[in-house]
Amino acid sequence: MYEILAREDFSEVTFLLEVHYPLLARAARPGQFVIVMLHADGERIPLTIADYSVERGSFTLVVQAVGKTTNEMQQNCQVGSRLYAVVGPMGIPSHIGELNKVICVGGGLGVAPVYPQARALKERGAYVIGIVGFRNKDLIFWQEKFENVCDELIICTDDGSAGLKGLVTDGIKRAVDQHQDIDEVVAIGPPVMMKFCAEATRPHGIKTVVSLNPIMVDGTGMCGGCRVAVGGEMKFCCVDGPEFDAHQVDFDDLMNRLARFRPEEKQAYERWAQSDNCRLVQEEPNIH
């Protein structure tokens, strides 16, 4: 269990891990996440489930190396190695209703996690418009996977090197102009992106669902560290979410709370990057 079956590097910072855990593969539903510990002294970090396969007895994570733990994962999680702990699936699964036409938006970290939703919606017979955003052409991944489950796929790149030049919100604008009958938008990505997606759909009154990613500890509702402000109420993201009505979410609050440990995160990363455990420095000559 928790063994890494496959790994794929999408870019210098983004990588995919396929993890062996048959029971979890059977239980997972779109919208859910897991908590991972890399080793006994590690922190507990939440990661959204990007895919799962009962046949392969596995689930997939797409990780961006941003801080100490995710950089350590990038370095150490090779095929055949094992994660120390995986708990999940956590959170309330997405409500996959009988919808006619849906937009699934993924940006950055959110591209992979929006995939199971697009697939599930497609399986329920919805017309799915996928909108995925990347910085440039070289960073695009899973295009084919998305094409297989989307009736339309709009790829957005910041520099215009592929697809539409612009942000995912430009993609939303285009889709909304072309289709007057959108039932719902699902948007997953960095908080700022989700905030702007909410603003893009608000004037049209289109129901918009976002998946929030606050700092977590246990993921079981026991600590309240993951609390988010939704419609003026406090919710615990790990048990009341992670999906909420985008038009009710206080994204500024989320962004503030995500900055809570910024000095500590920096300290931990720098300490690790300079330590013997980190092979970034030694390996550099081989890479180039």
Burial track 118-127 (b if 16+ CB lie within 10 A, e otherwise): bbbbbeeebb
107 in Cβ contact with 157 (< 8 Å): no
Residue 165 vs 262, nearer CB to other proteins: 262
Instruction: From 72, 84, 81, 78, select the one nearest 273 (Cα to Cα).
Output: 72
| C-beta atoms surrounding 41 within 10 Å | 7
CB of 6 to ligand FES, least distance (A): 29
Binding of residue 218 to ligand FES (CB under 6 A): yes
Residue 71 falls in which region: left (phi positive, over 0), alpha (psi -120 to 50) or beta: alpha
Residue 265 contact, options other proteins, ligand FES, none, Cβ 5-8 Å cut-off depending on partner type: other proteins
Phi–psi pair at 252, nearest 5 degrees: -65, -40
Binding of residue 227 to other proteins (CB under 8 A): yes
Sequence letter at residue 205:
G
- Interface characters, 233-252, with other proteins (x: CB under 8 A): -x-x--xx------------
Residue 199 vs 265, nearer CB to other proteins: 265
3-state class (DSSP) for residue 199? helix
Residue 22 vs 93, nearer CB to ligand FES: 93
Residue of the chain from 86, 118, 140, 226 that contacts ligand FES (CB under 6 A): 226
Interface ranges with ligand FES (CB under 6 A)? 216-219, 221-226, 236, 238
Interface ranges with other proteins (CB under 8 A)? 23-24, 27, 32, 37, 41-44, 68-69, 84-92, 217-225, 227, 229, 234, 236, 239-240, 253, 256-257, 259-261, 263-265, 267-268, 271
